[in-house]
Protein backbone atom coordinates (compact mmCIF):
# COMPACT_ATOMS: atom_id res chain seq x y z
CA UNK A 1 0.00 0.00 0.00
CA UNK A 2 1.11 3.56 -0.59
CA UNK A 3 1.67 6.26 1.99
CA UNK A 4 0.24 9.70 1.31
CA UNK A 5 1.00 12.73 3.46
CA UNK A 6 -1.06 15.89 3.26
CA UNK A 7 0.00 19.25 4.61
CA UNK A 8 -2.67 21.92 4.20
CA UNK A 9 -3.49 25.53 4.82
CA UNK A 10 -6.42 26.05 7.14
CA UNK A 11 -9.76 26.10 5.32
CA UNK A 12 -8.33 24.73 2.07
CA UNK A 13 -10.11 21.38 2.37
CA UNK A 14 -7.04 19.17 2.81
CA UNK A 15 -8.87 16.93 5.27
CA UNK A 16 -11.81 16.64 2.87
CA UNK A 17 -9.44 15.62 0.05
CA UNK A 18 -7.90 12.98 2.33
CA UNK A 19 -11.33 11.58 3.22
CA UNK A 20 -12.23 11.36 -0.47
CA UNK A 21 -8.99 9.54 -1.29
CA UNK A 22 -9.74 7.07 1.50
CA UNK A 23 -13.34 6.64 0.31
CA UNK A 24 -12.28 6.04 -3.29
CA UNK A 25 -9.43 3.63 -2.52
CA UNK A 26 -10.00 2.09 0.91
CA UNK A 27 -6.58 3.36 2.03
CA UNK A 28 -6.87 4.12 5.77
CA UNK A 29 -6.98 7.77 6.80
CA UNK A 30 -5.26 8.99 9.97
CA UNK A 31 -5.80 12.37 11.56
CA UNK A 32 -7.07 12.79 15.13
CA UNK A 33 -6.77 9.06 15.72
CA UNK A 34 -2.98 9.58 15.68
CA UNK A 35 -3.45 11.51 18.94
CA UNK A 36 -5.51 8.71 20.48
CA UNK A 37 -2.94 6.13 19.41
CA UNK A 38 -0.08 8.24 20.82
CA UNK A 39 -1.90 8.58 24.15
CA UNK A 40 -2.57 4.85 24.28
CA UNK A 41 0.94 3.74 23.24
CA UNK A 42 2.92 6.16 25.38
CA UNK A 43 0.65 6.93 28.32
CA UNK A 44 0.57 10.64 27.48
CA UNK A 45 -2.56 12.54 28.48
CA UNK A 46 -4.89 13.09 25.49
CA UNK A 47 -5.54 16.67 26.65
CA UNK A 48 -1.81 17.44 26.63
CA UNK A 49 -1.44 15.96 23.16
CA UNK A 50 -4.37 18.00 21.85
CA UNK A 51 -2.89 21.19 23.38
CA UNK A 52 0.37 20.80 21.48
CA UNK A 53 -0.98 19.07 18.37
CA UNK A 54 0.21 21.09 15.37
CA UNK A 55 0.17 24.08 17.65
CA UNK A 56 2.34 27.15 17.79
CA UNK A 57 5.48 26.04 19.56
CA UNK A 58 6.60 29.51 20.54
CA UNK A 59 9.75 31.54 20.49
CA UNK A 60 13.17 30.21 21.43
CA UNK A 61 12.78 31.89 24.84
CA UNK A 62 9.40 30.18 25.36
CA UNK A 63 10.84 26.79 24.42
CA UNK A 64 13.83 27.26 26.73
CA UNK A 65 11.48 28.14 29.57
CA UNK A 66 9.44 24.98 28.85
CA UNK A 67 12.64 22.95 29.01
CA UNK A 68 13.88 24.63 32.16
CA UNK A 69 10.59 23.94 33.92
CA UNK A 70 11.46 20.22 33.84
CA UNK A 71 15.21 20.43 33.37
CA UNK A 72 14.95 17.56 30.94
CA UNK A 73 14.66 17.87 27.17
CA UNK A 74 12.82 14.55 26.88
CA UNK A 75 10.32 15.43 29.61
CA UNK A 76 9.26 18.78 28.16
CA UNK A 77 5.59 18.68 27.10
CA UNK A 78 6.38 19.96 23.61
CA UNK A 79 8.98 17.31 22.86
CA UNK A 80 7.11 14.45 24.55
CA UNK A 81 4.08 15.28 22.44
CA UNK A 82 6.06 15.38 19.21
CA UNK A 83 7.86 12.14 20.05
CA UNK A 84 4.62 10.31 20.95
CA UNK A 85 2.83 11.53 17.82
CA UNK A 86 5.83 10.66 15.60
CA UNK A 87 6.11 7.15 16.99
CA UNK A 88 2.35 6.58 16.79
CA UNK A 89 2.42 7.68 13.15
CA UNK A 90 5.29 5.30 12.34
CA UNK A 91 3.52 2.42 14.10
CA UNK A 92 0.26 3.06 12.24
CA UNK A 93 2.14 3.20 8.96
CA UNK A 94 3.82 -0.15 9.69
CA UNK A 95 0.65 -1.75 11.01
CA UNK A 96 -1.43 -0.77 7.96
CA UNK A 97 1.47 -0.92 5.46
CA UNK A 98 0.81 2.72 4.57
CA UNK A 99 -2.08 5.14 4.83
CA UNK A 100 -3.08 8.78 4.47
CA UNK A 101 -1.54 11.01 7.14
CA UNK A 102 -2.67 14.58 7.78
CA UNK A 103 -0.19 17.27 8.86
CA UNK A 104 1.97 16.82 11.97
CA UNK A 105 5.22 16.80 9.93
CA UNK A 106 4.19 13.44 8.42
CA UNK A 107 6.13 14.11 5.21
CA UNK A 108 9.35 14.31 7.27
CA UNK A 109 8.52 11.71 9.94
CA UNK A 110 7.65 9.14 7.27
CA UNK A 111 10.32 10.25 4.79
CA UNK A 112 12.05 6.85 4.87
CA UNK A 113 8.81 5.03 3.91
CA UNK A 114 8.57 4.00 0.27
CA UNK A 115 6.54 4.55 -1.77
CA UNK A 116 5.29 7.92 -0.51
CA UNK A 117 3.46 10.85 -2.10
CA UNK A 118 3.97 14.11 -0.19
CA UNK A 119 1.16 16.58 -0.86
CA UNK A 120 0.45 20.21 -0.01
CA UNK A 121 -3.15 21.45 -0.32
CA UNK A 122 -3.92 25.16 -0.33
CA UNK A 123 -6.52 27.60 -1.62
CA UNK A 124 -5.69 30.92 -3.22
CA UNK A 125 -9.20 32.19 -2.34
CA UNK A 126 -9.44 33.65 1.15
CA UNK A 127 -13.20 33.90 0.68
CA UNK A 128 -13.52 30.14 0.10
CA UNK A 129 -11.29 29.49 3.09
CA UNK A 130 -13.49 31.76 5.21
CA UNK A 131 -16.63 29.91 4.05
CA UNK A 132 -15.11 26.53 4.95
CA UNK A 133 -13.93 27.87 8.31
CA UNK A 134 -17.43 29.11 9.10
CA UNK A 135 -18.75 25.59 8.35
CA UNK A 136 -16.20 23.91 10.63
CA UNK A 137 -15.45 26.32 13.47
CA UNK A 138 -17.40 28.37 15.97
CA UNK A 139 -16.07 31.71 14.75
CA UNK A 140 -17.78 34.83 13.41
CA UNK A 141 -17.32 35.96 9.82
CA UNK A 142 -15.58 39.12 11.07
CA UNK A 143 -12.95 37.06 12.91
CA UNK A 144 -12.60 34.19 10.44
CA UNK A 145 -9.68 35.62 8.45
CA UNK A 146 -7.66 36.32 11.61
CA UNK A 147 -8.52 32.80 12.84
CA UNK A 148 -7.23 31.31 9.54
CA UNK A 149 -4.01 33.34 9.73
CA UNK A 150 -3.43 32.20 13.31
CA UNK A 151 -4.01 28.52 12.46
CA UNK A 152 -1.66 28.74 9.47
CA UNK A 153 0.98 30.42 11.63
CA UNK A 154 0.66 27.65 14.24
CA UNK A 155 1.06 24.95 11.59
CA UNK A 156 3.97 26.73 9.92
CA UNK A 157 5.83 27.31 13.20
CA UNK A 158 5.23 23.76 14.38
CA UNK A 159 6.46 22.31 11.08
CA UNK A 160 9.49 24.55 10.81
CA UNK A 161 10.47 24.09 14.45
CA UNK A 162 10.53 20.30 14.28
CA UNK A 163 11.77 19.78 10.71
CA UNK A 164 14.02 22.75 9.85
CA UNK A 165 12.13 22.77 6.54
CA UNK A 166 10.00 25.59 5.20
CA UNK A 167 6.28 24.77 5.40
CA UNK A 168 4.67 25.06 1.98
CA UNK A 169 7.97 25.14 0.06
CA UNK A 170 7.63 23.24 -3.20
CA UNK A 171 10.90 21.37 -2.62
CA UNK A 172 9.26 19.47 0.28
CA UNK A 173 6.35 18.04 -1.72
CA UNK A 174 5.68 15.88 -4.76
CA UNK A 175 2.51 17.79 -5.64
CA UNK A 176 0.87 21.05 -4.60
CA UNK A 177 -2.83 21.49 -5.35
CA UNK A 178 -4.95 24.65 -5.21
CA UNK A 179 -8.53 23.81 -4.21
CA UNK A 180 -9.65 27.17 -5.55
CA UNK A 181 -9.04 25.90 -9.09
CA UNK A 182 -9.14 22.10 -8.63
CA UNK A 183 -12.14 20.68 -6.76
CA UNK A 184 -11.78 18.12 -3.97
CA UNK A 185 -12.65 15.11 -6.13
CA UNK A 186 -10.14 16.08 -8.83
CA UNK A 187 -7.46 16.68 -6.18
CA UNK A 188 -8.17 13.22 -4.75
CA UNK A 189 -7.97 11.63 -8.21
CA UNK A 190 -4.67 13.36 -9.01
CA UNK A 191 -3.14 12.13 -5.75
CA UNK A 192 -4.53 8.62 -6.29
CA UNK A 193 -2.97 8.53 -9.74
CA UNK A 194 0.39 9.72 -8.38
CA UNK A 195 0.23 7.16 -5.59
CA UNK A 196 -0.79 4.47 -8.09
CA UNK A 197 -3.37 3.13 -5.62
The pLDDT of 25-29, averaged and rounded, is: 96
> What is the average pLDDT score of the chain?
89
**Both ends of the chain: CA-CA distance in Å?**
7
Which helix (H) or strand (E) segment is 132 a member of? helix 126-136
Q: Is 150 helix (H, G, I), strand (E, B) or coil?
A: helix
CB 78 within 8 A of CB 63: yes
* Share of residues in the chain with pLDDT > 70 (%): 88
**Domains located in the chain, CATH noted:** 3-192 (3.40.50.300)
Who wins on pLDDT, 56 or 155? 155
User: CA-to-CA distance for 187 and 176, rounded, in angstroms?
Assistant: 10
36-40, 46-50, 116-120, 185-189, range with the lowest pLDDT:
46-50
The pLDDT of 185-196, averaged and rounded, is: 96
Rg over alpha carbons for the chain, rounded to the nearest Å, is: 17
CB 105 within 8 A of CB 83: no
What single-letter DSSP state applies at residue 166?
A: P
Q: Is 82 helix (H, G, I), strand (E, B) or coil?
A: helix
The pLDDT of 118-127, averaged and rounded, is: 98
CA distances from 65 to 11, 60, 104, 139 (A): 32, 9, 23, 31
Res. 190: pLDDT tops 70? yes
* Share of residues in the chain with pLDDT > 90 (%): 69
Res. 132: pLDDT tops 70? yes
| Whole-model pTM over 0.75 | yes
Amino acid sequence: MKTITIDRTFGSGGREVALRISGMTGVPYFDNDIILRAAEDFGVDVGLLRNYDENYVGSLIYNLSMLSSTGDYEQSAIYRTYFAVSEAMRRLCREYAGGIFIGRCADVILSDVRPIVRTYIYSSSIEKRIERTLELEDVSRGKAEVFIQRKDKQRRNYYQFFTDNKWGAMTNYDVMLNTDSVDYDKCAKIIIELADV
